[in-house]
Amino acid sequence: MYQVLYRKYRPRFFSDVIGQPQVTETLRNEIKTNRLAHAYLFTGSRGTGKTTCSKILSKAVNCLSPVDGDPCGECEMCRGLDDGSVLDVVEIDAASNNGVDDIRMLREEAAFTPASARYRVYIIDEVHMLSIGAFNALLKTLEEPPPHVLFILATTEVHKIPATILSRCQRFDFHRIDPSDIADRLVYVCQQEGVEIERDAAVLIAVIADGAMRDALSLLDQCIGKGTEITEKIVRDTAGLADKSHLIGLTDAVAKKDSAAAITLIDSLYRNSKDMARLCEELTAHFRELMLIKTMKAPRNIIVMSEDDYASSEKQAKELSLEKIVSTIDILQTATEKMLRGANRRIEMELTAIKLCSEKSVSRTDPDLSLRIEGIEKELERLKRSGVSDNQAYIPSAGVTSRQIMPAQRPSADKMEELRKNAVPMTNWPEVIDEMKNYSHTVAAGFEGSSAYISGKYVLVDSTNDICFELLRKQNLRDKMRDSIKKVTGQEYKLGRYSYPDEVVKEDALSELVKDLKSAGIPVDDNK
C-alpha cells in the first residue's frame, strides 16, 4: 500500500527534525545526562513536530544503544517500537478517550512494570480535550508517577489545560517552521522521489502550509499526483489559489480606481470556480505584504515570494498610500467575515471591489467617519448656495462635525507671495522623515511625498496630503518632528505650513507661548 509522504518522511531522529532546535537540543541533552522529567508537555500549532518528537523521545529513552541523545534505530527495541511489536509505548487520542473511566484504566495499567522496555510511555495527543473529571483523575498519577512511567502530553490549545496539570509538566513550545526550511525539505523529498520541483513552487507550498510541515507534505503529495514536474501553476491549481497576476491585477484596478476592470477580473475568477472568500483572504494577504514593504526597512526578510512577484509588489506599494493600504485591509477583512456568516460571496466580493475603487473608502475602525464626511459635504453645498466660494471655505479636518465648520478667509495672494519669498528649500528634509521612522513608521509615512522650506525660524511643510497637517496639529507629534529636525540640522525650528501658514504656525506659536509662560512661573491652565 502506498504510504503518504508525511508518514514516509517522518523524522526518526532528533537531528532530522526541522525548525525546532529549542526542543530537540534540550531533549537530547536530557537523555545524554539522564536527567529525564516524568512528564512532558509539547504545545504548538499543527504539523510542527509534536507527535514526531513524542515518538522519537519514547524510542530514545528505551533504546539499548542511544547515540548522542538520539535512538540508534537499529537495536531490537527501536525496531520493535517502529513495527508496533513492543507494546510499552501507548498512544492515546484524548479527543475520543476523554472520560474519567479512560484515565482510570490508564492509571491501573501504569502500576504494572513494562513488559520489555525500560519505560512505559503514555503519549496523550490533544490532551486539552480531556474532561475536567479526567484531568482530576490524572492529576495525582502525573504528580507522582511510578519510576518506570513517562507521560508525554501534546496539544494545540495549551490555554485549555488546567494550571495544576501545567505546573507538573516540563513544557516545550513548538514554533511555526520557517518557510525557507519547509521549502528546503520539500526539495529534498522531491529528489528522493524522483520528482522535479521549481524553487518558487516549493516556496509557495511553504507559504500555504503556514509553518506546518505536515500540511506542506500533504499538498506536495497532491501535486505529485498531477505529474512529476511541479511548477508554481500546478501548486496554485491544486490548492485552489488565484494566480499572483490576478491579485496584482486587482490591486492595479484599486490603485487606478477602475471598478469595471476589477469586476471583470472577479467574474473571470468566479467562472473558473474560484472561491470568493478564499480570493478575499488572498487579496488581504497581498495588501499585508504591501503594508510591510511600505513600513519596514528590510521587509524581504519577512515576505516570502519570488523575486519577480516581490518586484511587482514593491512597485504597487510605491503607488499606494499607507492610509489606502490599511483601509483596504480593513474593508477586505470585513467582507471576509460577512462571507463566512453566509452572505452571497460573489455579490459581497463585487461590492467590496467597488468600495475599494471608489474615491472614498472609509475604514470600519471609525464607523462614524462616513457620517461626518457626509455632513461636511452638505455644509459645503450650503456654503456654495449662500455665495461662499471654494477659496473662502476652509475645512479644518475630516474629524469635525458639520456644526463645527466655519468659513475662514485664506491668506491673500500677496501675503502668500511675501511668505514664500524668504523661504528656501530644505534639502535634508528626507533625512528628517527617516529620523521620524525611529519614533513611528506610520507617522513618518504620513509625510511621504512632502517637501519643506526654511524661512527664518520656521520650517514650513508643503504637501498635497492633508494627513501630515492633521498630524502636525498634535502637540506630541510636533515635538517629535522638531526633535527630528534638530537631530538632522543641529538647530531648533518652529513648524508651519508652507501653503497656509496661519493654520499650523498659530498653534505652534501658542504652544511656544505656553511653554514660555510656564518657565516664567506664570500658572497656565492647559484645558483652556
DSSP secondary structure of 4-69: -HHHHT--SSGGG--S-HHHHHHHHHHHHTT---SEEEEEESTTSSHHHHHHHHHHHTT-SS-BTT
pLDDT tens digits for 51-69? 999 999 999 999 998 888 9
Report the candidate in 213, 219, 206 with the shortest Cα–Cα distance to residue 179: 206
Contact in structure between 501 and 462 (CB atoms under 8 Å): no
Q: Is the pLDDT of residue 104 over 70?
A: yes
* Structure-model confidence comparison of residues 359 and 28, the more confident one: 28
| Mean local confidence (pLDDT), 385-398 | 47
- The more confidently predicted of residues 332 and 410 is 332
Dihedrals φ, ψ of 425, to 5°? -60, 140
Is the CB of residue 336 less than 8 Å from the CB of residue 280? yes
The pLDDT of residue 396: 42
Which of 242-246, 275-279, 370-374, 465-469 is most confident? Answer: 275-279
Among 30-44, 333-347, 414-428, 475-489, the minimum mean pLDDT is found in 414-428
Across residues 212-239, what is the average pLDDT? Answer: 90
For the chain, the structural domain boundaries read 5-174, 179-239, 244-357, 369-404, 413-519
Is 70 exceeded by the pLDDT of residue 391? no
Confirm or reject CATH 3.20.20.80 for domain 413-519, answering yes or no: no
Say which CATH class 244-357 falls into: mainly alpha
pTM of the model: 0.60
Predicted confidence (pLDDT) per residue in 165-187, tens digit: 999 999 999 999 998 899 999 99
State the CATH class of domain 179-239.
mainly alpha
Does the pLDDT at position 407 exceed 50? no
Q: Which residues of 69-82 are buried (b: 16+ CB within 10 A; e: fewer)?
A: bbbbbebebbebbe
Once rounded to an integer, what is the mean pLDDT over residues 300-320?
84
Closest CA to 324 of 263, 249, 257: 257
- Superfamily (CATH) of domain 5-174: P-loop containing nucleotide triphosphate hydrolases (3.40.50.300)
Segment 326-353, tens digit of pLDDT: 999 999 999 999 998 888 999 999 999 9
Of the two residues 499 and 121, the one the predictor is more confident about is 121
Residue 192: other Cβ atoms inside 10 A: 10
Name the pairing type of β-strands 196-197 and 229-230: parallel
Q: What angle do CA 414, 417, 418 make, to 5 degrees?
A: 85
For the segment 215-240, the average pLDDT, to the nearest whole number, is 89
Q: State the DSSP H helix or E strand holding residue 461, giving kind and residue range, or none if neither.
A: strand 458-462
In the block, residue with C-alpha cell 479636518: 397
Is the Cα dihedral 258, 259, 262, 264 positive or negative? Answer: negative
Type of residue numbered 515: K
Q: Name the nearest CA neighbour of 134 among 187, 79, 95, 173.
A: 95
One-letter amino acid at 399 equals: G
pLDDT of residue 196: 93
Average pLDDT over residues 123-133: 91
Which of helix, strand or coil describes residue 146?
coil
| DSSP E strand stretches across 82-219 | 89-93, 120-125, 149-155, 170-174, 196-197
Residue with the larger pLDDT of the pair 218 and 413: 218
Per-residue pLDDT tens over the stretch 182-203: 999 999 999 999 999 999 899 8
Please name the helix (run of DSSP H) or strand (run of DSSP E) that holds residue 451, with its range, or none: strand 451-455
